Amino acid sequence: MLSDAQAQALRALSNFLVAKTSMGDTLLDVSRITVGAVPAADMAGISLLGENGRPTTGVFTDDEAPDIDSAQYESGRGPCLDSWREGRVIRVDDVAAAGDVYPEFAEAAQAHGVRSTLSLPLMAGDERLGALNLYARVAGGFTSDDEALGTDLAAAASIVLANASAFWAASELSDQLGQAMRSRAVIEQAKGVLMARSPQMTADEAFDVLRKASQRENVKVRDIAQRIVDRKPADASSSELR
């Protein structure tokens, strides 16, 4: 039976609107919701691929989480990495006893007072997106019920992550397309101005004038075009631009 806090957490993740916040803020909210729903969890971190293509803890509820995780990233072994790679839940009931399997991680975790961990894979279909990692300062902090709840929360979080990735990718693409369309409109206007000043000039010749001016001044074609449309180079003629 879910507690009110756990039920609220699942509802919150299910109804999460990624359009209101950045990707980083979205994932931080997901981490905080999960920590609030699992009683033993003192902090959480999300392992994802960084800009350099290597695993990183880019989102965390406590500054200690990245320090703990960095040991496993450097060694290439740890519960978070295995959860991510294998797409399964990995529970470490006693970090001190995990030294044989994850020596670097176990040492770093104990140095920060972490005694047990729960790593949950983040997956969208067959794609493994990363891992949501929970840390407790007591041994045996996580139960089978926590595993089951964590699996549900991670599944909901995976949907949020996938939606957030799609939203921000689409948003970025939309911005790029919008910018390209605005640039195209300005360039077409500038070509029209040049052709009006030199009636014998074709559209291709007008663009060639813009292109040559861009190369000569090391300025984007769009900026050259904008100057013409804004009449910033006072009474500039096509011959002057050449």
Alpha-helix residue ranges (DSSP H) falling in 23-135? 23-37, 64-75, 79-86, 103-111
The whole-angstrom separation of Cα 158 and Cα 146 is 17
User: What amino acid is encoded at 235 in this protein?
Assistant: D
pLDDT score at 238: 45
pLDDT band at residue 4 under the 50/70/90 scheme:
low
Task: Of 154, 214, 210, give the one whose Cα is nearest residue 187.
Answer: 210
Domain ranges in the chain with CATH number 3.30.450.40: 4-171
User: Which residue's entry shows tokens 């089978």?
Assistant: 144
Contact 60, 106 (CB under 8 A): no
Contact 41, 34 (CB under 8 A): yes
Class of domain 177-241: mainly alpha
Look at 57-61, 65-69, 108-112, 153-157 and tell me which has the smallest mean pLDDT. Answer: 153-157
Task: Of 128, 134, 130, 162, give the one whose Cα is nearest residue 147.
Answer: 134
143-175 pLDDT, tens digit each: 998 898 888 888 877 777 776 666 555 445 445
The whole-angstrom separation of Cα 122 and Cα 34 is 13
191-241 pLDDT, tens digit each: 888 888 888 888 888 888 888 888 888 878 888 888 888 874 444 444 445
Count of CB atoms within 10 A of residue 180's CB? Answer: 11
91-105 pLDDT, tens digit each: 999 999 999 999 999
Contact 70, 42 (CB under 8 A): no
What SS3 state is found at 211?
helix
pLDDT tops 50 at residue 125: yes
pTM score over 0.95? no
Domain ranges in the chain with CATH number 1.10.10.10: 177-241
pLDDT tops 90 at residue 84: yes
Mean pLDDT across the stretch 30-35? 84
Choose which CATH entry (3.40.50.2300, 3.40.50.720, 3.30.450.40, 3.30.200.20) describes domain 4-171: 3.30.450.40
